Structure 1
Amino acid sequence: MAELLSPAGDMERLKSAVLFGADAVYLGGNSFGMRTAPKNFGDDLREAVEYAHAHGVQVYLTCNILPHSDEIQRLPGFLQNAADCGVDAFIISDLGALTIAKQAAPQVPVHISTQAGIVNYATANVFYEMGASRVILARELSLEEISTIRAKTPSDLEIETFVHGSMCVSFSGRCLLSSYLTGRDANRGDCAQPCRWKYRLVEENRPGEFLPIEEQDGGTYILNAEDLCMIEHLSQLEQAGVTSFKIEGRAKSAYYTSVVTGAYRAAMDFTRDHPEDPIPAWIVEELDKVSHRPYGTGFYFGQAGQETVKGGYTRNYQVIAVAEGWEEGRLLLTQRNRFFPGEEADCLPPRGKPFFLTIEDLQDEEGNAVEAAPHPMQRLSVRCEHPVQPGTLLRKKA
């Protein structure tokens, strides 16, 4: 069975990934990673690794920026510290960084980042000969091309591909648009995502007059790619030779990490037990309960597969509380967003099918009845006849 690899932008999101079924997580340190927006990990890296390992989950550290010369001297110490913390692999794209990693921490496996743009078996084999144990293929490949790479590479070279999340309009994420327009370098983890912006046309002899170039109401988003979703095609990915299914989203919320990880865990488990049957509808529907753009299958079924889409995210659900425990017919909660007695909560347990719970007999920590839950992180309880797993997410439609 393939590995399920989830993003972890900070400790809360790491714990969410672990709780909802990830086999491994990938995270960034305080430098050299391709995401600067998340909190990432510094002094708490050892704690993160220990927590993951205690739950049987591996940790892969991203070191996949293209480092400049003035940063190279700091890289060996950074890698040695991460190795001392117990990380299970480095994710690297730069050849110099790969060489340094093999010198500084030869005991740590190296995974070659999608930033390296691997699209053929010859390149994959060269990285294998240089000591890589895994290649994360370019996102622009079809299933047929992945099958060819699998057939023409050593069997112990692992193949990882993205199965879910945001898609970059630039080849394998190598883009200069953000640098040109904002001074923020996408190749150093600081992308401003100008591909998601709404554009208009200006004619040079009419400055200040913005002309619409829309094909439909709402503007034209000429660079805004669909989100990737392959949850209904996991068996085809495995047949092509993919050994690790990667979820994009280190900058996404803990809620996003929980729901998407849980959905893919449920889909993978179902596919293992029922290889000929379609994924149950409730699993697929979970992915509509997180913030996302319209979904597509990227390039897996051909070069014309990735489309651009109008507008931004669809946000249909919000978390109202997280279950902390269950005692004597009452569900103990920590509030996240405002809710009221009488509302129906859509509850997602860490493992299992979602269920509905009507909010009744809402009380504060002292047992006093309350008419609303407006305060973030407030401790509350509601009547609930059956035990509920800690970590269960209570949601409502926005």
Structure 2
Amino acid sequence: MSSQSIANEPQTSSEPKAAQTPRPVELLAPAGCYASLQAAIDAGADSVYFGLAQLNMRARSRRSFHLKDLEEIMSRCHDAGVRGYLTLNTLLYDHDLKLCFALLEEAAKQKVDAVIASDMACILKARELGLEVHLSTQLSVSNYQSFKFYAQFCDRIVLARELNLSMIRKIHQQIQADDLRGPSGRPVEIEAFAHGALCIAVSGRCGMSLYTDNASANRGACTQNCRKEYKVIDQESGKELMVDNNFIMSPNDICTIDFLDQVLEAGVHTLKLEGRGRAPEYVATVVAAYRKGIDAIQASTFTPELVSELQQDLEKVYNRGLSSGYYLGREQGWSAAYGNKSTRQKIQAGRVTHYYAKIGVAEITATGPIKSGQEFLIIGDTSGVVSGTLPELRLDDSTTVDEVKSGQVFSIKVDAKVRQNDKFFLHLSHAGSARI
């Protein structure tokens, strides 16, 4: 079957005809593990994206799903009214296609809502199976003519990360002028990264770790060479040359919260949050912040005061410093230091040993000193992320105390259901993050 005949086939869809009209703004969250998946759902994501096996751009992540998890992932998503997207966007060799097609067939069976892909073999097979396709940023679509070409295969295109808002707005205007529609019959949607890590390479297509470690970033095995500090040495004299920035290949993370209204006005339909390799509390915090931002824009209550509040929330979780990326046409910000610049850090201080559902109380065994008034997190595969501030701590004999020691068992009220063996963390102040 030719690519043209596949591209022109009517796409099989379980959605009613009403779905052919444009969808509202969509908040798309990362899910690298069950706790992050649940956190994204609970925090207000409209959709989540996840990878399976080794054919996704986070294949080396310690937080990773496998094929056997797909049924559970989609069940959780659809039970909550959330769409689930399978990411299959790595560089594919011939020997990868058997696995790729098997994943796609299982995706169709489990009613995955869309596949995020960049390789045409994957795209054509997904279309053959009636799966909606979203084109990955890995293809670096940077102009309308390329966008229009891929629209015959895809209902959504994730634009190159290097575009500014003016460029995105122009593409959106041309989509409207041409009434450009994808295989589903809906206008083709623009997706763009709203928050998270930014790679020094064009739309993440980097060959550095392949060169140094035989680990291809384009096959999900990036060793993150660009996040390290390097010395430049004159080979003749042995002298080290001074570089004005010690982390010249490590950009700040993207943060669009303070100009989110401009991003949406430019025609971005889907706000993509990066972070499948990051912790569940990162997902919970970032999704909640952008959910509040989107809702405020739609309610005409998007104020500088709210932006400041949300900005502070975003700085509390993992980041390499925050900047506007390329969207506003400003000079790119650089991390200038290794690793995390969040204003808070978490330490494990206990484990849930029981939950009393009727009274909403969690029993916790402490593994370190804990004081009332401290901020806490409870994280579990089914519970997601439950957070709050510790009230008085109640011991087994019903007495209340302000502090417990390692080994003691205490109880607290929690706002949501938690489960036995969920991990209990304290949130502590950390070195501050800066807006650049």
1:195 aligns with 226
CA contact (8 A) 2:27 2:272 kept: yes
1:165 aligns with 2:191: no
SS in 2 for 1:43: helix
**Candidates 321, 326, 331, aligned match of 1:299:** 326
Alignment match of 1:332 (pick from 362, 367, 377): 362
Give the Å deviation of 1:374. Answer: 4.5
Q: Which runs of 5+ in 2 are unaligned?
A: 1-23, 182-186, 379-385, 419-423, 431-436
Does the Cα contact within 8 Å between 2:293 and 2:302 map onto a contact in 1?
no
TM-superposition CA deviations, 1:28-72 (whole Å, max 9, x none) = 011321111132232011111001110010000001001011212
- Going from structure 1 to structure 2, the CA distance change for 1:3 and 1:380 (only over 3 Å counts) comes to farther
> 8 Å contact 2:366–2:404 — kept in the other structure?
no
Alignment of 1:152-301 (within 5 A): 152-153=174-175, 154=180, 156-205=187-236, 211=240, 213-215=242-244, 220-275=246-301, 277-278=303-304, 280=306, 281-301=308-328
Aligned to 1:20: 43
Residue 274 of structure 1 deviates from its aligned partner by 2.2
TM superposition shift of 1:86: 1.6
Query: Structure 1 residue aligned with 2:342, among 300, 312, 315?
Result: 315
- Quote the Cα distance in structure 2 between the aligned partners of 1:266 and 1:336: 34
Deviation at 1:185, TM superposition (A): 0.5
Equivalent residue letter for 1:183: N
Give the distance between the partners of 2:207 and 2:149, measured in 1 at CA.
27
Q: What is the root-mean-square deviation of aligned Cα atoms in Å?
A: 3.1
Task: Find the partner of 1:100 among 125, 146, 154.
Answer: 125
One-letter code aligned to 1:152:
Q
After superposition, the Cα gap between the structure-2 partners of 1:25 and 1:242, relative to the gap in structure 1 and judged at 3 Å, is: same
Match in the other structure for 2:434: none
> Which amino acid counterpart does residue 395 of structure 1 have in structure 2?
H
Q: Which among 429, 433, 436 is matched to residue 397 of structure 1?
A: 429
**Whole-Å separation in 2 of the counterparts to 1:396 and 1:333:** 22
| Alignment partners' CA distance in 2, 1:337 and 1:137 | 46
Q: Secondary structure at the match of 1:264?
A: helix
Report the CA distance shift for 1:259/1:276 in structure 2 as closer, same or farther (over 3 A): closer
TM-score after normalising by structure 2: 0.79
Instruction: Tell me how far 1:78 sits from its aligned partner.
Output: 1.7
Distance 1:336 1:317, change over 3 A: farther
TM-score by length of 1: 0.86
Residues 335 and 34 (structure 1), Cα distance of their counterparts in 2 relative to 1, 3 Å cut = farther
1:161–1:244: 8 Å Cα contact kept in structure 2?
yes
CA distance in 1 between partners of 2:388 and 2:101 (Å): 51
3-state DSSP of counterpart to 2:172: helix
**1:389: Cα distance to partner?**
3.9
Cα deviations by residue, 1:271-318 (Å, 9 ceiling, x for unpaired): 22125633513222110110111110111111x442223012213323
Counterpart-to-counterpart distance in 2, 1:141 and 1:290: 26
Change (3 A) 1:2 1:183: same
The equivalent of 1:351 in structure 2 is none
Distance 1:79 1:279 in 2: 45
- Which of 285-294 and 331-340 deviates more? 331-340
* Counterpart position of 2:415: 388
Structure 2 SS opposite 1:74: helix
Q: Is the 8 A contact 1:322 1:394 kept in 2?
A: no
For the residues of structure 1 that align with 2:171 and 2:366, how far apart are their CA atoms? Answer: 46
CA distance in 2, matches of 1:396, 1:225: 26
Q: Distance in 2 between matches of 1:173 and 1:81?
A: 28
Q: Counterparts in 2 of 1:21-170, with a 5 A limit?
A: 21-36=44-59, 37=61, 38-103=63-128, 105=129, 107-129=130-152, 131-153=153-175, 154=180, 156-170=187-201
Query: What is the alpha-carbon distance in structure 2 between the residues aligned to residue 336 and residue 12 of structure 1?
Result: 21
Deviation readout 1:351-389 (Å, 9 max, x if unpaired):
xxx99735423436x8687853647xx97423x6xx734
CA distance in 1, matches of 2:366, 2:108: 36
Q: How many residues are treated as equivalent by the alignment?
A: 379
SS at match of 1:9: coil
CA distance in 2, matches of 1:91, 1:61: 6
* Superimposed CA distance per residue, residues 137-162 of structure 1 (whole angstroms, 9 cap, x where no aligned partner): 00000111001111112261011000
What secondary structure, in the 3-state scheme, does the structure 1 residue paired with 2:304 have?
Answer: coil
- What SS does the aligned partner of 2:370 have? coil
> Structure 1 368/82 Cα, relative in aligned 2: closer, same or farther at 3 Å?
farther
Query: Does structure 1 conserve the Cα–Cα contact (< 8 Å) formed by 2:114 and 2:133?
Result: yes
Instruction: Identify the range of structure 1 (325-334 vs 9-18) with the bigger mean alpha-carbon deviation.
Output: 325-334
Q: Structure 1 pair 337/124, CA: closer, same or farther in 2 (3 Å)?
A: farther
Distance in 1, matches of 2:344 and 2:235, equals 44
Residue type of the partner of 1:147?
Answer: R
Measure, in 1, the Cα distance between the counterparts of 2:42 and 2:311: 19
Amino acid at match of 2:228: W
Letter of the 1:242 counterpart: V
> Structure 1 residue 344 and structure 2 residue 369: aligned?
no
> Whole-Å Cα distance in 2 between the matches of residues 237 and 64 of structure 1?
25
The one-letter code matched in structure 2 to 1:111 is: H
